Chains A and B, each alone.
Chain A
Amino acid sequence: MGDDVLRCDRLRRTFGARVAVDDVSFRLAPGEVYGLLGPNGAGKTTTIKMVCGLLDPDGGTVTIGGRPARDDLSVRRMVGYVPQDVALYPDLTATENLAFLGRLYHLRGRELAARIDEALELTDLASRGGDRVDSFSGGMKRRLNIAAGLLHHPALLVLDEPTVGVDPQSRHAILERVDSFGRTGMSVLYTTHYMEEAERVCDRVGIIDHGRLIAEGTRRELVAELGQKDRIELAADGDLETLAAACRRTGGVERASVADGTVQLVAADGRRTLPAVIEAAEHAGVPVRSVDVTEPDLEAVFLHLTGTALRE
């Protein structure tokens, strides 16, 4: 525990009357990829900003490499911050942007040039270093945004929803990279509202909702919390909310919610519940088109814990 790269203890932050982050505690071991999974407005970015020293917590502490993050500039060297929105100068080239940010970390000369090459290489942008950022695609900008956080070889890389608005191919590339960072010993704090991403790249996941960390653990641990439950996905033509409401009234269905054009259910025993669900759907006038019964995943965990789907 002494060698945790990051420790957040009882972090709290309010904006006026709104509590954005409430009593959030978690820690990251070296080389660990930790995911903060939560819907829009859950408090992910606020948490990350407190970790990176951009916002002062109203309560609680952030400890990085065993040192309190507050007021200690040298601690910032250990952190690579990749903001949620691409923060790069569009009118400078990729290399110029990286050189500027690298200099802020006291890199210079040959070392700076080498780090820039390395960061561009790592994000598959090696051939585009001389191009202006405004000529980049959305995915390329996001990758360069990540490259900028890697320049100074941080012990902790903080990625705030790095795949938002990115095509599947770029997303795949980004996730691959995050995976490999963990293996090189870099710790990664990764926020997302995509359950699949959290499942895929994170060693451990903290589920955050309305500013509170409501569950934490490995995927296996979290799913185990559900017990022997199934996740049912219904596709139907008609009003999905009506369908979800009908399902909720059906025996055996614990949670029902609309997500991604489907109705997601958590049920104690999928196979036994299904006929009743289908019948309820017919009654409600929203006949089911197809059914998918799967093992529970983090989506189901979230649904189980909060009663709402991760994505509306």
Chain B
Amino acid sequence: MTVLAIARASLTRLVRDRTALFFLVVLPVLVIVLVGATVRGFSTWKVGVVDEGAGAAGQRLVAALDRSPDLAVDHYPTVRAMSTAIARGELNTGVVLPARMDEAERGGSRTSVGLVFEQANSSMQAAATAVAAVVRAEGVRVQAAQFATAQAGGTFATNLSQAARLEGRLPRAQVRTVAAQASSSILPEGFSYAAPTELVLFVFLSAVAGGAATVETRRLGIYERIVAAPVRPRDVIAGETLNYLVIALGQSLLIVAVGALAFGVSWGDPIAAALLLVCWSLVGAGAGMLAGTLFKTPEQASGIGPVVGITLGMLGGCMWPLAMVSPVMRQVGHATPQAWAVDAWTALLARGGTLATVLPDLAVLAGFAAVFLLLATHRLRHVLAG
């Protein structure tokens, strides 16, 4: 009861606090909409192609890319030349058609089409997504043709023998999966990378900035008033934790909803995603409460809080993937909870991860949350003791 009263008062204040609401609602939605609009808004992406001897299959794919209204294809002699063009911003993405793609396709074996783009660049991510979609569609067509030829049987001797080999070696269900594939990126493409990293960034950032409310409660002497009432310190701590948790979860759900409804972001395995949201919200709650007990003035919290949030976000892979940074920086990054949360989202969204895949990340996040909450509890007890 007193726990709820304490959480309720803090939440009522939050609703009236324009600065807090800006960080909590306006800014994340604004950024999502901006990034989302940029990613979707470009009319044509410039795609470079390097053909390493893919034969007819490669030509078919280039034709398909050419047919796509979103893509303009340019040929490059080497991967190196194409990479330079990408680095200069002349291209949005590059495609590498592997040698003997044709044979591989006809042989029904796997073949990989390489995609070259900068993962930190959201428009490149989007271009890569568009190219990947064309490659996949083409793959399905090739596969269907292979299958039809195999099924129809008998016009071409070679085809027949191929079909025979296919049927003999592979069960039907597996034949479907044999196709040209985009080389699987370790990251979710396009906007699906931006949305979860923003969630990780903003939930933490606004929790720490939101510590200002606790600093104010402290400075106004309201905790003294609470302690003078028949309220146990642990109820005060529970009430404040609940308050921060509700804020973090609320913001998470807002970002999930905006991402999903407005931009079709898929958030992956629902149970794993939900647990990840809860873990991350607990991390945010702990960090926010800790900030509330450490900062001296509300201005410090709302000024330094975002700086801390952004710095940890950068280190932890919220701004650019840690896959691109040096191993040392990657290790340093994993000292932040952000890195583990981003890893977990990446596993869920790009690799179709499940609860089992992200369990280690969740455990680490739970550990961070526990440490933050324990420290905050300790500090708050100290505050309450006068």
Contact = CB atoms under 8 A, between A and B. Distances in A.
Contacts of A224: none
Nearest to B385: A56
Interface in A88-106: 88-92, 96, 100-101, 103-106
Given A76-B228, A91-B17, A106-B230, A83 B9 contact: no
Given A73-B230, A148-B225, A55 B386 contact: yes
A83 B230 contact: no
Given A52-B228, A104-B230, A104-B231, A88 B222 contact: yes
B275 interface: no
A153 B208 CA distance: 38
A148 B226 CA distance: 11
Nearest to B221: A87
A137 interface: no
Contact of B13 (A53, A73, A85, A92): A92
19 contacts: A76-B228, A81-B224, A81-B225, A83-B221, A86-B220, A87-B220, A87-B224, A88-B220, A89-B9, A90-B220, A91-B13, A91-B16, A92-B16, A96-B9, A103-B1, A103-B2, A104-B2, A104-B5, A106-B230
A290 interface: no
Contact of A83 (B5, B224, B231): B224
A73 B232 contact: yes
B8 interface: yes
A17 B35 CA distance: 59
Interface residues of A, number: 29
A106 B1 contact: yes
Contacts of A148: 225
Contacts of A52: 228
Interface of A: 49, 52-55, 73-74, 76-77, 79, 81, 83, 85-92, 96, 100-101, 103-106, 108, 148
Interface residues of B, number: 25
In this complex, which of A52, A81, A100 has the most chain B Cβ atoms within 10 angstroms of its Cβ? A100
B149 to A, nearest CB: 73
A88 B222 CA distance: 7
B158 interface: no
Contacts of B230: 73-74, 76-77, 104-106
B227 interface: yes
B386 A92 contact: no
B174 interface: no
Interface in B203-252: 217, 220-222, 224-232
In this complex, which of A49, A52, A91 has the most chain B Cβ atoms within 10 angstroms of its Cβ? A91
Contact of A85 (B4, B221, B226, B229): B221
B12 interface: yes
Nearest to A53: B228
A91 B11 CA distance: 12
Contact of B229 (A55, A83, A88, A104): A104
Given A87-B220, A89-B13, A54 B5 contact: no
Nearest to A101: B225
A79 B228 contact: yes
A100 B229 contact: no
B224 A54 contact: yes
A43 to B, nearest CB: 15
B224 A104 contact: no
In this complex, which of B8, B222, B229 has the most chain A Cβ atoms within 10 angstroms of its Cβ? B229
Given A85-B221, A105-B229, 10 more contacts: A52-B228, A73-B230, A73-B232, A76-B228, A89-B220, A100-B8, A103-B1, A103-B5, A104-B2, A105-B230
B32 to A, nearest CB: 28
Interface string B354-386: 000000000000000000000000000000001
B5 to A, nearest CB: 4
Nearest to A49: B386
A105 B2 CA distance: 8
Contacts of A96: 9, 12
Contacts of B222: 87-89
Contacts of A101: 225, 229
Contacts of A54: 224, 227-228, 386
A88 B232 CA distance: 20
A134 to B, nearest CB: 10
Nearest to B217: A89
A106 B231 CA distance: 10
